[in-house]
Amino acid sequence: MKIKNENLVNYSIILFGLYPVMPNNLKGFLMIIFFFSGLNYFLKKKKKKIYTKPFVLNSTLFFIYLLSLVYSNDMYYGFKNLGPAISILFFPLAFYIFLSNFKLKRKIIQKILNLFSISTFFLMIYFMIYFSLKILPLFPDVSFFDINYIRSYLRVLPMIGHHPIYISIYLGISIINLLNLIFKYIKKEIDYIFPTVLILIFLLFSLFYVSSKGSILSLFLIALIIYFLKEKNKIQSLFIGFVALCTVTGIIFLTPHINNRFKELIKSETYSTQHLDKNNSSQIRVAIWKTSIDKIKNAPIFGYGIGDVQRILNESYKNNYPYLLNEQYNSHNQYFGVWLSTGLIGLLFFLLLFYFNFKIAIQNQDYVFIAVLLFFSFNFLTENVIERQAGANLFFFFINLFGFYNYKNTFEVKKN
């Protein structure tokens, strides 16, 4: 049976919904499948057009990374880091060049988000079963809620283990989608509400279970921002926001394993880096950020090149924080990471990418897109998400997927 080019593209997009449960060594194939399905569509279309502006704005960072190789001393490490960066080029190229004539329907975006949420649900079920049956019997004194063991074994989960930040991102995107579905179906299709709410409750529990401070705070802020934007009665929205703040604060401080991680944020020693406590992740980040800022001051315009950033940080760690050197910490802030690699020029284009996509999301009142953008932009404050393939693929796929859909809508309206 011959599959139409349009259907092939749709299938390759929806397939990305399996990303959370795809084996790590196969995740890159999702990008390759989508890229070549887009290329196939482009080659078979007689009438071709391209969207130059969004392509340039969304992909320029890749070329700046590439240019930074010129002044990188460590070429091997530089080319190695370009691996994850290839998605910065591939996704804008596929959407805005290869698929410029393609009509992306909102229901396809919804299908991938739903599949992504279900995949995340099964990922967490798999982890909890694995943790309960395989790990806990080996350590009789460890509880099901021991956060240090939870976060450690998330990394080594067979085939699909990841750093907790990526698991938190899967959870965050899924929660955003499920909240949107609940508000969408609450008055129309009541049959969908109950299973959706149950999955949402489980994923919210999972997010608190892995205790990612950044993602929990990000989702809370996003919920308040979106509600404030949509709610006409601003006084009421502020009151509900205050009640929500009290509720979330209560949950955090009444849950011991979460409480301990959030308490770091209000300890004075967290912001003093004279004596690092390796069990205080917030203090470690503060030390890393201080180091990153010091290094940015020495090369603010062009940075150090994509190949030399880790070496530059390691040299400073060696003199000031030996523990950080042992762990080979990156800048733990994506904005600092881009600035260190490519200087102010790269950072400006990175921020321009956000500005462009926020603009078209707001113009089209696409609150899911706004929420996804906010979620990534907040998480970038504490993690170098796009410096690993798992994070780069995820971010640039979703940003270009939503961006392409909304840009075409805006472009077609202006055209007509």
Tens digit of each residue's pLDDT (9 = 90 or more) over 118-169: 999 999 999 999 988 888 887 877 778 777 788 888 888 888 888 889 999 9
- Please name the residue that has the structure tokens 């990188």: 72
Beta-carbon contacts of residue 120 (< 8 Å; ≥ 6 apart):
20, 170, 171, 173, 174, 203
3-state secondary structure of 379: helix
Give the Cα separation of 313 and 295 in Å (integer).
Answer: 8
Q: Would you give the distance in Å from CA 286 to the centre of its chain?
A: 21
- Overall average pLDDT of the 80-90 stretch: 93
pLDDT, tens digit, 9 for 90 and up, residues 292-346: 999 999 999 999 999 999 999 999 998 888 888 888 899 999 999 999 999 999 9
Indicate the pTM of the whole model.
0.91
- Rounded alpha-carbon distances, angstroms, from residue 165 to 136, 152, 368: 22, 12, 21
- Overall average pLDDT of the 171-194 stretch: 83
Burial class from Cβ neighbours inside 10 Å (0-12, 13-18, 19+) for residue 303 reads buried
Beta-carbon contacts of residue 83 (< 8 Å; ≥ 6 apart):
389
